[in-house]
Amino acid sequence: MDPLVRREEAGGVATITLDSLHNRNALSARLLQELDDALTWAIEEPAVRVAVLTGTGPVFCSGADLKEQRSGAPVTTSLPDVLSLIWESPKPVICRLNGTARAGGLGLVAACDFAIAPEAASFAFTEVRLGVAPAMISVTCLRRMDPRAAAEYFLTGEVFTASRAAEIGLLTRAVPEDELDATVAHYAGMLLRGAPEALAVTKRLVREVPQVPVDEGFRLMADLSARRFASEEAQEGIRAFMEKRPASWVPHD
């Protein structure tokens, strides 16, 4: 069988592509397993510094595979694992939406560190209209979205635009379709200039520091800052800055 998820690496960037056109990249059991495998590869592969998650066709991801759901197959059992892999990845993950996303597909979007979509894309949390709830994806989506907007779209199932998705925090940016690849490449290029360990640490603090009381936050961050300045990465970065040269982790053109 042809794979439902393709993967490739070039210049430190792993591109992971949902390729299940027959069901609009729905989250079938097989696609989820292949996506889990591809994400694990990207995280463990030393050559990979940044991952880009995208899809083929006009739809990025249509959500759960409803045919499998009706048959009683355990379609969603691995979705939390996939979302956790993206969320906890020490390497930055960019979602390059090739088009529309619905329901469970929006959980993938929210799990990524960056999400770029064409302005023509549309979005909807359709679960309540099917008699279910956006349960598992709420774990990532509610950490990104404005609370009022989350209530509005979770409860109504209404379709909304890419510009609105950016406004409420679900997307990083909505751009004209002919600027999509250049925008994704821009973010990937900027991330490749960051030190790998520093990026992993910074990903964690972006998630965790807002939940920590202010006094404890200052104490924890003072300790973290001291450890980072003493690290080999920081010594190389500072030395490179003083010598007016790229740091050792920056890819050569």
The model carries a pTM of: 0.95
Sign of CA dihedral 202, 204, 208, 210: positive
At residue 66, the pLDDT reads 87
Q: What radius of gyration do the chain's Cα atoms show? A: 19
Helix, coil or strand: residue 171: coil
Per-residue pLDDT tens for 30-68? 999 999 999 999 999 999 999 999 999 999 999 999 888
For residue range 191-232, what is the model confidence (pLDDT) as tens digits?
Answer: 999 999 999 999 999 999 999 999 999 999 999 999 999 999
List 34, 68, 127, 233, catalytic entry: 127
Catalytic (active site) residue 127: yes
Nearest to 32, CA basis, from 8, 52, 61: 61
**pLDDT at residue 123, rounded to an integer:** 98
Check residue 137 and give left, alpha or beta (phi > 0: left; psi -120 to 50: alpha): alpha
Distances (CA, A) of 204 to 50, 52, 198, 245: 16, 19, 10, 28
